[in-house]
Amino acid sequence: MLIRNATLLLEGKAARKDILIQGGKIKSMGHFRGKGIDATGLFALPGIIDAHVHLREPGATQKEDFRTGTRAALSGGVTTVLDMPNTSPPTTTLARLREKRALASKKAACDYGFHFGAGEDNFEEVKKAKPGSMKVYMGKTTGDLFLPDEKLIFRHFMNFPREKPVVVHAEDQAIIDAEGRTPLAAQVAVAKAAMLARRASRRMCIAHASTPREIELAKKWEKSLVETCPHYLFLNEKDAEGLGCFGKVYPPLRSERERRGMWAALGSIDYLSTDHAPHLPEEKEGGAAGFPGLGVSLPLMLDAYSRNLVGMDWIISRMCENPARIFNIRGKGRIAPGFQADIVLVDLRREWKVRADGMESRCRWSPYEGRVLRGSVEKAIFRGELAYERGSGIICETKGKEVMAR
Ligand code: DOR
Ligand code: ZN
């Protein structure tokens, strides 16, 4: 298998190369003879690794399941997804992790991993299950996962191996109860999480930072890592108002000032995930919080690139290399010999309009509906196979595998 004449970043510089693929892995980059996928005029990036998605299985497959969610991923150039544990039932026991594994191994069209839920009383289960990553909820959100007490958070921080990441949903429930999901609710929780992580001397990821102050507070502990999501970069509270019930997400969209501040703080953000949280339109009307994001996250960033808001090196490090490193996903996140042949070919000049009804996700709406973006996903190559092509959709369902090191 050969990808011909792609433009890619090599040591920081754009170069035209053919990419030779063998056995699902990148063999080398150079100039080769032979037939293959013509990538003339297209830019090649490593397959995107989205470390924060809600695939809703088991328990809410009317919203999404492993098949529809991973197909939506591929259509956006995402070749690896890490699933969140706030399903019903939540992923807090080895048996439930096994149940998810069995479902995903049959249905996933791209690679995947699982975050394990930190429960009030599942310390032994964590030891038994040996998950690749854990998720702590400091505030209540979709599902029942919630740790009411800092002592429990600290115990999980101590209980879980130091080389593995713990991801924290940092919104302080006491402040939420008093004044709602304000920036302060997020910032206080981040400060607490960073303090507890420091005491436990462990690395910890702040999920979906929505204000620059959260980033600052997280970074008071050197082993903190910070995630943000496209909606905190591309949407603000005015957009939320305009979207009505479709504008509800936790943490909420912030002021224009905070949104701009997030762009100014780009250098301190470690990785970008979608927090793909699909709900059906009727569920949104009933108050459900969350945005779908798979399918548009890379195009949004490419559009920002076309407007000189971000460099290609940032996109590759924050959406590919860093999530691979942070979540111990080996052999992924780079276009280099020996790495898995997950490659997304994008057209940096093509303008297209976001239309949810053409997307793979089961939820069939998007907060970006109607937006014109410059930068499109033309082809997604997964494990060396052409898996998605613009215009044709998913053309090959290679089975995905579990990837986080355990
Ligand atoms: O808006 C959100 N939706 N925030 C979360 O923390 C959870 C997510 C969901 O699972 O629906
Ligand atoms: Zn989430």
* CB-based contact 305:315 (threshold 8 Å): yes
Average pLDDT over residues 282-295: 97
- Residue 2 pLDDT > 80, yes or no? yes
pLDDT tens digits for 103-133?
A: 999 999 999 999 999 999 999 999 999 999 9
Q: Which ligand 1 atom sits closest to the C-alpha of 143?
A: 10
Residue 382: pLDDT band by 50, 70, 90 thresholds? very high
- Residue 406 pLDDT > 90, yes or no? no
pLDDT for residue 284: 98
Question: Which DSSP category does 332 fall into?
Answer: -
pLDDT for residue 49: 98
pLDDT for residue 259: 98
Share of the chain above pLDDT 70, in %: 100
pLDDT tens digits for 311-370?
A: 999 999 999 999 999 999 999 999 999 999 999 999 999 999 999 988 899 999 999 999
* CB-based contact 295:72 (threshold 8 Å): yes
pTM, two decimals, is 0.98
Please report the sign of the dihedral spanned by the C-alpha atoms of residue 386, residue 106, residue 132, residue 165: positive
pLDDT tens digits for 223-253?
A: 999 999 999 999 999 999 999 999 999 999 9
Kind of pairing between the strands at 13-22 and 25-30: antiparallel
* Rg, Å, the chain Cα set: 20
* CB-based contact 261:232 (threshold 8 Å): no
pLDDT tens digits for 27-43?
A: 999 999 988 999 999 99
Which segments of 54-153 are extended strands (E)?
A: 78-83, 111-117, 133-137
Residue 273 Cβ contacting ligand 1 at under 6 Å? no
CA of residue 99 to ligand 2 center, whole Å = 20
Kind and range of the H or E run holding 205: strand 204-206
Average pLDDT in the chain? 97
Q: How far, in Å, CA of 285 to CA of 297, rounded?
A: 24
Partners of 402 in beta bridges: 112
Residue 208 Cβ contacting ligand 1 at under 6 Å? no
CATH fold for domain 46-334+350-373: TIM Barrel (3.20.20)
Q: Give percent helix, percent strand, percent coil of the chain, each to the nearest 5.
A: 35, 25, 40
Average pLDDT over residues 401-406: 87
Question: Which DSSP category does 276 fall into?
Answer: B
Q: Which of 55, 86, 140, 235 to mutate to test the pocket of ligand 1 (most atoms within 8 A of CB)?
A: 86
- Residue 398 pLDDT > 80, yes or no? no
pLDDT tens digits for 37-71?
A: 999 999 999 999 999 999 999 999 999 999 999 99
Residue 88: pLDDT band by 50, 70, 90 thresholds? very high
List active site positions: 275
